[in-house]
Amino acid sequence: MTTLDILQFPDPRLRTKAAEVTVFDDGLRQLVEDMYETMYAANGVGLAATQVNVHKQVLVADMSEERDQRMALVNPRIVARQGEQVYQEGCLSFPGIYADVTRALAVVVEAQDVDGQPVRLELEGPLAVCIQHEMDHLAGKVFVDHLSGLKRSILLKRLEKQRKAATA
Ligand code: NI
């Protein structure tokens, strides 16, 4: 397994729209294993292939305390959404930055597993947030896109300051 480099905002490659996966082979399985490794090493709860500069519709997530509830989705689609929730989100492409984002409370997701088998999931609460956040990445979006201009500019200034401090 390999730990992959995570693209950092504002890297323009984070704006790439991921392509549908049509081949379910060892390369895909390896990508998913490497994405888990990368996510766990970074203490993240979710990771989209976009963030490791692979522009395919693949995401992994694990929101469990024990870090033992892996979920890998290929070609995910939200087919139903309900309600609203506000949740404080972070992102491995924005280290140290957190913001409240409003998203659907519950979603029904249709996707495929790494073998190409169809899966249908009914998710709510934090896991629904996580999957919506990762699916945004696959569409070239990031969580701060959901914020007002003012909130976003405050956060991005903070991100810049932290980066300067880290490299000083
Ligand atoms: Ni993210």
Nearest to 43 by CA among 22, 21, 67, 23: 67
User: What would the pLDDT profile of 29-61 be if each residue is shown by its tens digit?
Assistant: 999 999 999 999 999 999 999 999 999 999 999
Instruction: Choose the catalytic residue: 66, 84, 110, 134.
Output: 134
User: Which pLDDT score, from 0 to 100, does residue 1 have?
Assistant: 72
Range list of H helices, the chain: 26-41, 126-138, 149-167
Q: Tell whether pTM > 0.85.
A: yes
Summarize pLDDT for 76-115 with one digit per residue, the tens: 999 999 999 999 999 999 999 999 999 999 999 999 999 9
Please tell me the distance between residue 114's alpha carbon and the centre of ligand 1 in angstroms. Answer: 21
> What does DSSP assign to residue 17?
P
134 a catalytic residue: yes
- Residue 128 Cα to ligand 1 midpoint, Å, equals 14
Contacts of residue 30, defined as CB under 8 A and 6 or more positions apart, other chains included, come to none
Instruction: Tell me how far the alpha carbon of residue 112 lies from the centroid of ligand 1, in angstroms.
Output: 21
Domains with residue ranges and CATH for the chain: 12-167 (3.90.45.10)
Report the distance separating Cα 87 and Cα 90, nearest Å.
10
